């Protein structure tokens, strides 16, 4: 059981780290290079505000969205994709990954945005002049310049996700139990 929980914990942490790092780079890149300075600051303020909102409120919000009567299941039913609620959306590792990714995304965006401030916009122009598209420019011209931030974002969010025991307990059910939940349970029961 311990090795299963350890594997699940590390797996969830790694998936959350990859998801958050990819989304944070993409969103911070957009905020930095696609919006005006004023609009970018406003978007960053929204991201920071979401990040300082109550941890438990954000977890319960995702629990409400993913449960059997939640928004996702209602939309799937309304579109005719499913005739009954998809129960695997809630109390599953999927719910844990989605919720944790949302919880730690503001941290990743702030890390990436800070690093992208040091990237000269001429790098983007040079990439385009050489025939690279937006994605290729972002990945081959910008990403290497912020490699340390990408590594920091990945490692930090992976560690935070692997250490989180509240989220798996509230949205993971028995399928989402991690080492942290087990340690907490054993500490309480003595």
Q: Nearest CA to 47 among 99, 95, 104?
A: 104
pLDDT the model gives residue 25 = 96
Q: What is the pLDDT of residue 180?
A: 84
CA distances from 30 to 13, 25, 35, 38 (A): 25, 8, 7, 13
The verdict on pTM exceeding 0.85 is yes
Q: Which tokens sit at 3?
A: 């090795």
Residues 14-52: tens digit of each pLDDT: 999 999 999 999 999 999 988 888 888 999 999 999 888
Q: Extract the residue ranges of the chain whose pLDDT is less than 70.
A: none
Report CA-CA distances (Å) from 5 to 1, 20, 179.
6, 22, 5
Amino acid 14: pLDDT: 97
- Per the CB < 8 A criterion, the answer to whether 15 and 154 are in contact is no
- Predicted confidence at residue 151, as pLDDT, reads 97
The phi, psi pair for 36, rounded to 5°, reads -65, 165
Calpha distance 175→126 (Å, rounded): 49
CB-CB contact of 36 with 173 (8 Å): no
């Amino acid at each position: 059981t311990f090795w299963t929980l350890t594997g699940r914990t590390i797996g969830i942490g790694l998936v959350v780290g990859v998801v958050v790092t990819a989304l944070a780079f993409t969103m911070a890149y957009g905020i930095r290079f696609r919006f005006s300075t004023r609009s970018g600051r406003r978007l960053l303020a929204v991201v920071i505000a979401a990040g300082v909102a109550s941890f438990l409120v954000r977890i319960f919000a995702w629990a409400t969205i993913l449960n059997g009567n939640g928004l996702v299941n209602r939309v799937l039913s309304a579109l005719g994709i499913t005739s009954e609620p998809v129960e695997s959306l809630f109390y599953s590792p999927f719910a844990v990954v989605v919720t944790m990714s949302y919880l730690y995304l503001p941290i990743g965006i702030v890390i990436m945005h800070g690093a992208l401030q040091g990237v000269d916009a001429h790098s983007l122009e040079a990439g385009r002049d050489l025939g690279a598209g937006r994605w290729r420019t972002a990945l081959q011209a910008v990403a290497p310049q912020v490699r340390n931030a990408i590594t920091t974002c990945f490692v930090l969010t992976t560690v935070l996700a692997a250490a989180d025991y509240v989220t798996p307990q509230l949205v993971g059910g028995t399928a989402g139990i991690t080492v942290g939940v087990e340690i907490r349970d054993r500490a309480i029961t003595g």
